[in-house]
Amino acid sequence: MMGNDFLKHVPLFQHLSDEDRVRLAGSIKLQSLKKGEILFNKGGAGDALYIIKKGKIKIFLSSHAGDEVLLAIFSEADFFGEMALLDGMPRSADAIAIEPTELLLLNRNDFISFLNHNSNAVQAVLQSLSQRLRRTDDILEDTCFLQISERFAKKLVELAMQHGRREGDVIFIDLSLTQKDMASMVGATRESINKELRTLREKGLVSIQENMICIHNLERLKRRAH
Protein backbone atom coordinates (compact mmCIF):
# COMPACT_ATOMS: atom_id res chain seq x y z
CA MET A 1 0.00 0.00 0.00
CA MET A 2 1.16 3.51 -0.80
CA GLY A 3 1.30 5.75 2.30
CA ASN A 4 -0.38 9.15 2.15
CA ASP A 5 2.71 11.24 3.06
CA PHE A 6 3.74 11.54 -0.59
CA LEU A 7 0.13 12.04 -1.76
CA LYS A 8 -0.06 15.23 0.33
CA HIS A 9 2.47 16.79 -2.06
CA VAL A 10 0.63 15.78 -5.25
CA PRO A 11 -1.56 18.71 -6.42
CA LEU A 12 -4.32 16.32 -7.49
CA PHE A 13 -4.70 14.98 -3.94
CA GLN A 14 -3.81 17.99 -1.77
CA HIS A 15 -7.40 18.91 -0.87
CA LEU A 16 -8.32 15.44 0.35
CA SER A 17 -8.72 14.69 4.03
CA ASP A 18 -6.19 12.35 5.64
CA GLU A 19 -8.90 9.71 5.79
CA ASP A 20 -9.64 9.98 2.07
CA ARG A 21 -5.94 9.89 1.19
CA VAL A 22 -5.44 6.73 3.25
CA ARG A 23 -8.44 5.14 1.51
CA LEU A 24 -7.13 6.19 -1.91
CA ALA A 25 -3.65 4.89 -1.10
CA GLY A 26 -5.11 1.42 -0.80
CA SER A 27 -6.06 1.51 -4.50
CA ILE A 28 -2.68 2.72 -5.75
CA LYS A 29 -0.04 0.38 -7.12
CA LEU A 30 3.68 0.99 -7.63
CA GLN A 31 5.67 0.53 -10.84
CA SER A 32 9.39 1.00 -11.44
CA LEU A 33 11.00 1.75 -14.79
CA LYS A 34 14.62 1.64 -15.87
CA LYS A 35 16.13 4.47 -17.90
CA GLY A 36 14.95 4.08 -21.49
CA GLU A 37 12.08 1.72 -20.62
CA ILE A 38 8.78 2.31 -22.44
CA LEU A 39 5.77 2.94 -20.21
CA PHE A 40 3.16 2.92 -22.98
CA ASN A 41 2.83 3.46 -26.71
CA LYS A 42 0.42 5.54 -28.77
CA GLY A 43 -2.71 3.52 -29.50
CA GLY A 44 -2.42 1.44 -26.34
CA ALA A 45 -5.28 1.06 -23.89
CA GLY A 46 -5.60 3.98 -21.48
CA ASP A 47 -6.32 2.00 -18.35
CA ALA A 48 -4.37 3.88 -15.65
CA LEU A 49 -3.53 7.32 -14.31
CA TYR A 50 0.16 7.78 -13.50
CA ILE A 51 1.75 9.94 -10.80
CA ILE A 52 5.52 10.28 -10.68
CA LYS A 53 7.00 9.53 -7.28
CA LYS A 54 10.59 9.81 -8.46
CA GLY A 55 12.28 10.28 -11.83
CA LYS A 56 11.19 11.73 -15.18
CA ILE A 57 8.94 10.62 -18.05
CA LYS A 58 9.14 11.90 -21.62
CA ILE A 59 5.92 12.11 -23.65
CA PHE A 60 6.48 12.09 -27.41
CA LEU A 61 5.13 11.24 -30.83
CA SER A 62 7.13 9.16 -33.29
CA SER A 63 6.86 8.55 -37.01
CA HIS A 64 7.41 5.34 -38.97
CA ALA A 65 10.70 6.88 -40.14
CA GLY A 66 11.92 7.17 -36.56
CA ASP A 67 11.48 10.93 -36.18
CA GLU A 68 10.21 12.19 -32.82
CA VAL A 69 8.33 15.22 -31.53
CA LEU A 70 8.87 15.77 -27.81
CA LEU A 71 5.60 16.96 -26.27
CA ALA A 72 6.34 17.15 -22.55
CA ILE A 73 8.60 16.05 -19.72
CA PHE A 74 6.97 15.18 -16.40
CA SER A 75 8.79 14.91 -13.07
CA GLU A 76 8.09 14.33 -9.37
CA ALA A 77 4.43 14.84 -8.28
CA ASP A 78 3.24 15.39 -11.88
CA PHE A 79 0.34 13.26 -13.11
CA PHE A 80 -0.48 12.20 -16.65
CA GLY A 81 -2.56 9.71 -18.62
CA GLU A 82 -5.85 11.20 -17.49
CA MET A 83 -7.05 12.09 -20.99
CA ALA A 84 -7.41 8.47 -22.14
CA LEU A 85 -9.18 7.60 -18.88
CA LEU A 86 -11.73 10.37 -19.30
CA ASP A 87 -12.66 9.83 -22.96
CA GLY A 88 -12.06 6.07 -23.16
CA MET A 89 -9.87 6.51 -26.25
CA PRO A 90 -6.42 4.91 -26.76
CA ARG A 91 -3.22 6.62 -25.63
CA SER A 92 -2.49 9.66 -27.80
CA ALA A 93 1.32 9.53 -27.49
CA ASP A 94 4.27 7.42 -26.35
CA ALA A 95 5.84 7.59 -22.88
CA ILE A 96 9.37 6.58 -21.87
CA ALA A 97 11.47 6.93 -18.71
CA ILE A 98 14.48 9.20 -19.28
CA GLU A 99 15.98 8.18 -15.93
CA PRO A 100 15.17 5.49 -13.32
CA THR A 101 11.58 6.26 -12.38
CA GLU A 102 9.03 5.19 -9.76
CA LEU A 103 5.35 5.60 -10.60
CA LEU A 104 2.06 5.36 -8.75
CA LEU A 105 -0.79 3.79 -10.74
CA LEU A 106 -4.49 4.35 -10.26
CA ASN A 107 -6.66 2.20 -12.52
CA ARG A 108 -9.54 3.63 -14.53
CA ASN A 109 -12.41 2.44 -12.30
CA ASP A 110 -10.74 3.72 -9.12
CA PHE A 111 -9.86 7.02 -10.84
CA ILE A 112 -13.44 7.62 -12.03
CA SER A 113 -14.79 6.71 -8.58
CA PHE A 114 -12.26 9.08 -7.01
CA LEU A 115 -13.40 11.94 -9.28
CA ASN A 116 -17.08 11.22 -8.61
CA HIS A 117 -16.55 11.75 -4.90
CA ASN A 118 -14.06 14.65 -4.97
CA SER A 119 -15.07 17.89 -6.69
CA ASN A 120 -11.70 19.49 -5.88
CA ALA A 121 -9.95 16.70 -7.78
CA VAL A 122 -12.23 17.27 -10.78
CA GLN A 123 -11.21 20.92 -10.72
CA ALA A 124 -7.52 19.95 -10.54
CA VAL A 125 -7.87 17.64 -13.55
CA LEU A 126 -9.74 20.26 -15.56
CA GLN A 127 -7.12 22.86 -14.66
CA SER A 128 -4.37 20.50 -15.78
CA LEU A 129 -6.10 19.79 -19.10
CA SER A 130 -6.69 23.51 -19.62
CA GLN A 131 -3.03 24.33 -18.94
CA ARG A 132 -1.89 21.68 -21.42
CA LEU A 133 -4.28 23.00 -24.09
CA ARG A 134 -3.01 26.54 -23.48
CA ARG A 135 0.56 25.25 -23.77
CA THR A 136 -0.34 23.77 -27.15
CA ASP A 137 -1.80 27.12 -28.21
CA ASP A 138 1.39 28.85 -27.05
CA ILE A 139 3.53 26.46 -29.10
CA LEU A 140 1.46 27.14 -32.22
CA GLU A 141 1.62 30.89 -31.62
CA ASP A 142 5.39 30.81 -31.05
CA THR A 143 5.93 28.72 -34.19
CA CYS A 144 3.95 31.24 -36.25
CA PHE A 145 5.26 34.51 -34.82
CA LEU A 146 8.67 33.99 -33.17
CA GLN A 147 12.05 33.44 -34.77
CA ILE A 148 13.90 30.21 -34.01
CA SER A 149 16.33 32.06 -31.72
CA GLU A 150 13.42 33.43 -29.66
CA ARG A 151 11.59 30.09 -29.54
CA PHE A 152 14.71 28.23 -28.46
CA ALA A 153 15.61 30.76 -25.77
CA LYS A 154 12.03 30.65 -24.46
CA LYS A 155 12.13 26.83 -24.30
CA LEU A 156 15.46 26.85 -22.44
CA VAL A 157 14.04 29.31 -19.89
CA GLU A 158 10.99 27.06 -19.46
CA LEU A 159 13.16 23.97 -18.95
CA ALA A 160 15.35 25.85 -16.49
CA MET A 161 12.33 26.95 -14.44
CA GLN A 162 10.66 23.52 -14.44
CA HIS A 163 13.60 21.12 -14.28
CA GLY A 164 16.68 23.20 -13.49
CA ARG A 165 19.00 22.65 -10.54
CA ARG A 166 20.83 25.77 -9.40
CA GLU A 167 24.41 25.63 -8.17
CA GLY A 168 25.75 29.10 -7.51
CA ASP A 169 25.15 31.22 -10.60
CA VAL A 170 24.63 28.24 -12.94
CA ILE A 171 21.39 26.36 -13.59
CA PHE A 172 21.84 22.75 -14.69
CA ILE A 173 19.15 21.09 -16.85
CA ASP A 174 19.93 17.39 -16.49
CA LEU A 175 17.46 15.81 -18.93
CA SER A 176 19.88 14.17 -21.40
CA LEU A 177 18.21 16.02 -24.26
CA THR A 178 19.71 15.60 -27.71
CA GLN A 179 19.80 18.40 -30.25
CA LYS A 180 17.11 16.47 -32.10
CA ASP A 181 14.93 16.51 -28.95
CA MET A 182 15.40 20.24 -28.53
CA ALA A 183 14.66 20.86 -32.19
CA SER A 184 11.38 18.92 -31.98
CA MET A 185 10.31 20.95 -28.95
CA VAL A 186 10.47 24.23 -30.85
CA GLY A 187 9.56 23.07 -34.36
CA ALA A 188 13.04 23.51 -35.82
CA THR A 189 15.75 21.39 -37.45
CA ARG A 190 18.68 19.85 -35.60
CA GLU A 191 21.03 21.96 -37.71
CA SER A 192 19.34 25.22 -36.69
CA ILE A 193 19.49 24.24 -33.00
CA ASN A 194 23.18 23.40 -33.38
CA LYS A 195 23.69 26.91 -34.76
CA GLU A 196 21.68 28.50 -31.93
CA LEU A 197 23.65 26.59 -29.28
CA ARG A 198 26.89 27.76 -30.82
CA THR A 199 25.65 31.37 -30.72
CA LEU A 200 24.54 31.06 -27.09
CA ARG A 201 27.89 29.53 -26.12
CA GLU A 202 29.76 32.37 -27.82
CA LYS A 203 27.65 34.89 -25.86
CA GLY A 204 28.40 33.07 -22.59
CA LEU A 205 24.75 32.28 -21.91
CA VAL A 206 24.77 28.50 -22.26
CA SER A 207 27.20 25.58 -22.26
CA ILE A 208 26.88 21.81 -22.56
CA GLN A 209 28.55 19.55 -20.00
CA GLU A 210 28.17 15.76 -20.16
CA ASN A 211 24.75 15.97 -21.88
CA MET A 212 23.57 18.62 -19.40
CA ILE A 213 22.49 22.07 -20.53
CA CYS A 214 24.06 24.71 -18.29
CA ILE A 215 22.43 28.15 -18.13
CA HIS A 216 24.98 30.80 -17.12
CA ASN A 217 22.81 33.90 -17.38
CA LEU A 218 19.07 33.27 -17.08
CA GLU A 219 18.09 36.95 -17.18
CA ARG A 220 19.88 37.59 -20.48
CA LEU A 221 18.35 34.41 -21.87
CA LYS A 222 14.90 35.65 -20.86
CA ARG A 223 15.49 38.92 -22.71
CA ARG A 224 16.51 36.97 -25.79
CA ALA A 225 13.19 35.08 -25.65
CA HIS A 226 11.15 38.24 -26.32
Q: Look at strands 170-173 and 57-62 and give their pairing.
A: unpaired
The predicted structure's pLDDT at residue 2: 53
Does the pLDDT value for residue 167 go beyond 50?
Answer: yes
Q: How sure is the predictor about 131, in pLDDT bands with cuts at 50, 70 and 90?
A: confident
Lowest average pLDDT, out of 2-11, 80-89, 123-132, goes to: 2-11
Residue of 157 and 126 predicted with greater confidence: 157
pLDDT tens-digit readout, 25-74? 888 999 999 999 999 999 998 889 999 999 999 999 987 777 788 999 99
Task: Output the pLDDT for position 118.
Answer: 83
The burial class, CB within 10 Å (0-12 / 13-18 / 19+), for 81 is: buried
C-alpha 185/C-alpha 17 separation (Å) is 39
Share of the chain above pLDDT 90, in %: 54
Q: How confident is the model at residue 141 (pLDDT cuts 50, 70, 90)?
A: confident
DSSP assignment string, 83-138: HHHHH-PPPSSEEEESS-EEEEEEEHHHHHHHHHT-HHHHHHHHHHHHHHHHHHHH
Domains assigned to the chain: 4-141 (2.60.120.10), 146-224 (1.10.10.10)
Query: Which pLDDT score is estimated for 25?
Result: 84
For all residues of the chain together, what is the average pLDDT?
89
Please say if the pLDDT value at position 111 is more than 60: yes
pLDDT for the residue numbered 5: 75
**pLDDT value at residue 31:** 96
pLDDT of residue 140: 83
Q: With a cut of 60, say whether residue 120 has pLDDT above it.
A: yes
Q: Whole-angstrom Cα distance, residue 43 to residue 6?
A: 31
Instruction: Report pLDDT for 4.
Output: 60
